[in-house]
Amino acid sequence: MAKNEELVFGIHAVSALINAAPERFIEIWLLKGREDDRMMPIINLSRKYGIGSQMVSRKVLDDKSEGEQHQGVVARVRPGKSYTENDLDDIIRAAEKKSIAPFFLILDGVTDPHNLGACLRNADAAGVQAIIVPKDNAAQITPTVRKVAVGAVESVPLVQVTNLSRTMKQLQQQGVWVVGTAGETDTCLYDVKLSGPMALVMGAEGKGMRRLTRENCDQLVKLPMAGSVSSLNVSVATGICLFEMVRQRSL
């Protein structure tokens, strides 16, 4: 596959991208004989937008998706817009134009594509305006991330920044309150005011936040854990924290 091309697979991921940006599609491969209620919208949209499609065997799809669950559809597309720290001012302005307080999710070194996909899905559901990640040592948008995110890659910008601590300081200068999650604090998530302009920081799987990231948070909170397990999967914990923020923001 050419350098300036990407693969997308999975029914939700392909459907979301056709609806958002049909001009990015080069071609679609569909499972031969699969013309059920879930696949027909993709077939109809590809015809509507004149996207070349081929009916192929399951083995061809398995090879193209490198063994990942493709659900009978794989597409070759042109890359979309990539976001950097230079886009954050525009994202904040766009939110304020709609009278919405800025709302960000910062992932410090989350490397598992399934976790990134699940965090994107959580962020979309919670109304997060962008996810901010370091450019290095972090999961990037891949076909697996797209599939797990079930379309959220198209609605939530993934902003890759060269210096996470510097970006956090820039957000703070714009009035964004930065809350990090850390097991060592005594402050519970549910005891803190979490409305207004906010950024939630989640640490990497296992290791948590890096020291500099932790030091640049305005506040640290933890989830109350009643059982014998010491921590939750990062995407599960992210969903819990984001929706406590959603609850408080809606009051």
C-alpha Rg value of the chain to the nearest Å: 20
| CA–CA distance, 240 with 18 (Å, rounded to integer) | 31
The closest alpha carbon to 12, from 190, 131, 146, 179, belongs to: 146
Is the distance from CB of 43 to CB of 30 less than 8 angstroms? yes
Q: Give the pair of three-digit tokens for residue 204.
A: 């990497």
| CA–CA distance, 139 with 109 (Å, rounded to integer) | 8
Pairing, β 130-134 against β 73-77? unpaired
For residue 125, the Cα-to-chain-centroid distance in whole angstroms is 11
158 is in an annotated binding site: no
Q: Taking the chain, what is the end-to-end CA distance rounded to the nearest angstrom?
A: 49
| CA–CA distance, 158 with 118 (Å, rounded to integer) | 13
223 is in an annotated binding site: yes
Angle at the Cα of 82 from the Cα atoms of 51 and 90, rounded to 5 degrees: 115
203 is in an annotated binding site: yes
- Residues facing residue 236 across a β-bridge: none
Residues of the binding site for S-adenosyl-L-methionine: 203, 223, 232
Residues of the binding site: 203, 223, 232
